[in-house]
Amino acid sequence: MSAAHNQTSLESLQCHFTWDLDRRRSILLLLRENLEDVRTEEGNRWMGHIFNLWEFIQYKLGFTEDAQGLFNKAADAFKQVRNADNGPWLVVNYGNLAWLHHHLGEPAESQAYLSKVDALMREYPSPTQDELHPEIYAERAWTLMYLRENMSLVVDLFKKAVRMQPDMVEWNTSYVLSLISAHNHSDTGLDADLLEKMRHAKEQDPENLYLAALYLEQLAKKGERIEDKACEIAKKVLRTPVCSYNCLRALLRVYTHHISVDEAIDLAEEALKKHPDQRYLKRCVAFDFNRSIQYHMNAAAIPEKSFFRENSIRYLEKAKNRGRMCREIEEFLENLQEPTS
């Protein structure tokens, strides 16, 4: 990436077409569905990355016209997020377009984008000799992290990006998140050093509700009371655009495992009321609910008189009357043993 480099070739480009991202069609379809669920409202700092990955998947699925449109949207998204018309963040996008036109049998257009890559590399050389530009490291790391693959490489790539450009808060946040994903999880939470990195990242990036929810989960594993803090985060999550559904997923896990399954259901249903067409939220409600039903069935099955048993039976009756798992609940209640005195 130095100023004195040779003409870039298709094979030497840094982009989705050269990052070994080939997947089975079933996986690509699932990834596309997930990306469609990730709305890209204004303020999403990863909009450009989202469109770049989305367009690559569209191409691999055979939707070349859609792919080209999304590549252009990626460029526009970067301009919006970076508040600039040009910059090194477009290297991956232009590389994708060079490959796309190459596969479409349009060599002139492909060469035009190769020339644009060369121009960007001359204008914005890497701050460190013999290394790629940090924008490239960050985008590749984000892409692999989204695909949930090779987390050790993700950690390394984000670490390089942050070292070279430490003022990018979202990169540092993602670096810490990748460290957490690569960590061997335990019921007692993260070790002190990683927990401190997490706390520091949260202070630097206070609007990242996903990170806040994960940090809350770690505090709960350490034995801290988190109900009030969880409630604060839940209010913020419900006020944010639906693109922050990842925050909700993390928060629902906190409620389910450390507070109350029923409160988790209430939170998911409240979010669904605000965004009734969101498939992800519907899946959340159907899931954290099945868990609740199973929990109350287990409690009601204990053949001893208690407030908790009676409360669970009332919950199951109510759920049945609301049309949820009617047959299963009715069958369970009919076969329920009488409690011992």
- Residue range 24-40: average pLDDT? 78
Q: Which CATH architecture has domain 16-125?
A: Alpha Horseshoe (1.25)
pTM of the predicted structure, to 2 decimals: 0.80
Top pLDDT among 287 and 41 is at 287
Within 13 Å and on the Cβ side, how many CA atoms surround 4? 2
pLDDT at position 3 is 39
Longest dimension (CA), the chain: 87
Mean pLDDT taken over the chain:
86
Report which DSSP code applies to 105.
T
The answer to whether residue 184 scores a pLDDT higher than 90 is no
pLDDT band at 1 (very low <50, low <70, confident <90, very high): very low
- Domain(s) labelled CATH 1.25.40.10 in the chain stretch across 16-125
The answer to whether residue 74 scores a pLDDT higher than 80 is yes
The answer to whether residue 5 scores a pLDDT higher than 50 is no
pLDDT tens-digit series, residues 302-341: 888 877 788 888 888 887 876 667 888 888 888 887 776 5
Alpha helices in the chain (DSSP H): 25-37, 47-60, 64-82, 91-103, 107-123, 134-146, 151-164, 169-182, 192-204, 209-221, 227-239, 245-258, 261-274, 279-300, 307-321, 326-334
Q: Which tokens go with 311? A: 């409360």
- Residue range 266-284: average pLDDT? 76
Interatomic CA distance for residues 253 and 271, integer angstroms: 15
Q: Is 209 helix (H, G, I), strand (E, B) or coil?
A: helix
> Is the torsion defined by CA of 40, 46, 47, 50 positive or negative?
negative
